[in-house]
A and B are shown apart, each in its own frame.
Chain A
């Protein structure tokens, strides 16, 4: 399998989060494990991909008993 770039990993993570929206929340480690399993991605590349998602504003961190990575809602939600 060709090595994935950080941007491609970020896109794959984003799709995964988008598909699960409203059904499942992912933690950083969930995304990392999934990328390692699907593309053989290493931990460092996954961390960079998550950072890319955050800095671009495509995803945000949320806290509901633990820290999750989600797509920003249209309206801010309260717990």
Chain B
């Protein structure tokens, strides 16, 4: 591809300074070969000068049969920057845990340099591989080459968004269940829901292997599956002592910072009252190998997180306190629960209402009843601050 028109970009140039990576530097590198990337620099500089974004999104673009995976993007300065008048985004379903071979990555880049701007985002906040900037006539060609390479489009619009997980057992000793297996199985089980939007709004699923929640499931996913354990924290007293001998002030830096104060340190031995542990991972993170999650591991299923878009941000609430996700029965239970949630939400949810907002609107109790779950104490997100049980003074005889 030929080099595009050059634009003066004094404001963007500022973002190249410093020791950190710069997206401007990368766009400039792409602009050596791509007129689209060159025009993008021009439009972006104008946006910085005017403090106005010039993108519109949505509309009628996609590949045949799919309702997700392509986000139509248009410039309202198409006359001035014709190369980016149409600048569609493609979302591609990433491999669970983001493991690639270099051959696969080169294949992806080759496709995109041939049919798009060459600019990618590895990865989007949901986890997908993002291809930035192409025209409508290139979409089917890109899709065809992606499928030949073994990739499929991800979710967009009112559908199940591409499920995403941490790399769990592949690299992390704290993973309490096989996140990549669950992510892959959910992706394959709900292909129809990923590619054919049928919901009131988006539905995101994220799987984190332990309560550290490296994929931010509790803050971002409509359905969060977060690893946890039932039994006691594994404890190696020799290693704990070694931490103390090497200068870690266990009383001040660990015990007094435990959110439920469930630990004691007598200077020689750490005692944990596991019944009061809320699995925050603080002590385990502070003394790796000396402490570790218990042996009876599984996951907690939560519902309803979202970032602030239409309404404010929301964290997820517990639906299933513990599920082991190893046997066929628990796997089927999870899939059935999802079907039940979608059924109720599709029936009663408003347009652009996330499932967490819907559950709050109808009341969590009513929502649980509709999806067929019995309430349990673990589902209480906050202690009630306006009690409706009033105690009356006993009448004197």
Interface string of B56-83 (1 = CB under 8 A from A): 1111111011111001101000000000
Please tell me if the beta carbons of B197 and A28 are within 8 angstroms of each other in the complex.
Answer: yes
Please tell me if the beta carbons of B59 and A62 are within 8 angstroms of each other in the complex.
Answer: yes
In the assembled complex, the Cα of A64 lies from the Cα of B201 at a distance in Å of 12
Please tell me if the beta carbons of B58 and A79 are within 8 angstroms of each other in the complex.
Answer: yes
Interface string of B148-163 (1 = CB under 8 A from A): 0000000011110000
CB distance from A50 to the nearest CB of B (A): 7
Q: Tell me the chain A residues, 41-67 only, with Cβ under 8 Å from chain B.
A: 43, 47, 50-51, 54-55, 57, 60-67
Please tell me if the beta carbons of B62 and A29 are within 8 angstroms of each other in the complex.
Answer: no
Contact of A77 with B by CB under 8 A: yes
Residues of A within 8 A of B200 (CB): 27, 29, 66
Please tell me if the beta carbons of A29 and B346 are within 8 angstroms of each other in the complex.
Answer: yes
Contact of A73 with B by CB under 8 A: yes
Contact of B351 with A by CB under 8 A: yes
Please tell me if the beta carbons of B196 and A50 are within 8 angstroms of each other in the complex.
Answer: yes
In the assembled complex, the Cα of A62 lies from the Cα of B67 at a distance in Å of 7
In-complex Cβ contact of B60 among A43, A51, A57, A62 (8 A): A62
Please tell me if the beta carbons of B67 and A79 are within 8 angstroms of each other in the complex.
Answer: no
Residues of B within 8 A of A72 (CB): 60
Please tell me if the beta carbons of B59 and A77 are within 8 angstroms of each other in the complex.
Answer: yes
In the assembled complex, the Cα of A72 lies from the Cα of B157 at a distance in Å of 18
Known contacts A27-B158, A79-B72; decide if A47 and B66 are in contact (CB<8 Å). no
In the assembled complex, the Cα of A52 lies from the Cα of B23 at a distance in Å of 42
Residues of A within 8 A of B67 (CB): 54, 61, 67
Contact of B198 with A by CB under 8 A: yes
CB distance from A14 to the nearest CB of B (A): 16
Residues of A within 8 A of B347 (CB): 29, 33
Residues of A within 8 A of B60 (CB): 60, 62, 70, 72-73, 76-77
Q: How large is the interface on B (under 10, 10 to 19, 20 to 34, 35 or more residues)?
A: 20 to 34
Q: Which B residue's beta carbon lies closest to that of A33? A: B347
Contact of B174 with A by CB under 8 A: no
CB distance from B302 to the nearest CB of A (A): 25
Q: Which B residue's beta carbon lies closest to that of A29? A: B346
Interface SS of chain B: loop
Residues of B within 8 A of A47 (CB): 192, 196, 198
CB distance from B370 to the nearest CB of A (A): 16
**In the complex, how many residues of chain A place their beta carbon closer than 8 angstroms to a beta carbon of chain B?**
27
Most buried by B among A29, A65, A67, A76: A67
Contact of B199 with A by CB under 8 A: yes
Residues of A within 8 A of B71 (CB): 63
In the assembled complex, the Cα of A67 lies from the Cα of B223 at a distance in Å of 20
In the assembled complex, the Cα of A54 lies from the Cα of B63 at a distance in Å of 10
In the assembled complex, the Cα of A7 lies from the Cα of B346 at a distance in Å of 23
Q: Tell me the chain B residues, 21-62 only, with Cβ under 8 Å from chain A.
A: 56-62
In the assembled complex, the Cα of A57 lies from the Cα of B140 at a distance in Å of 14
In-complex Cβ contact of B157 among A29, A54, A66 (8 A): A66
Most buried by B among A27, A47, A61, A73: A61
Sample 12 A-B pairs with CB under 8 A, ordered by A number. A27-B197, A27-B200, A33-B347, A51-B196, A54-B196, A64-B58, A65-B58, A65-B352, A66-B352, A70-B60, A79-B56, A79-B57
The 9 closest A-B pairs by CB, nearest first: A61-B67, A67-B197, A28-B198, A67-B157, A67-B158, A79-B58, A63-B58, A79-B59, A29-B346
- Which residues on B are within 8 Å of A, measured CB to CB? 56-62, 64-68, 71-72, 74, 136, 156-159, 192, 196-201, 343, 346-347, 351-352
- Which residues on A are within 8 Å of B, measured CB to CB? 27-29, 32-33, 43, 47, 50-51, 54-55, 57, 60-67, 70, 72-73, 76-79
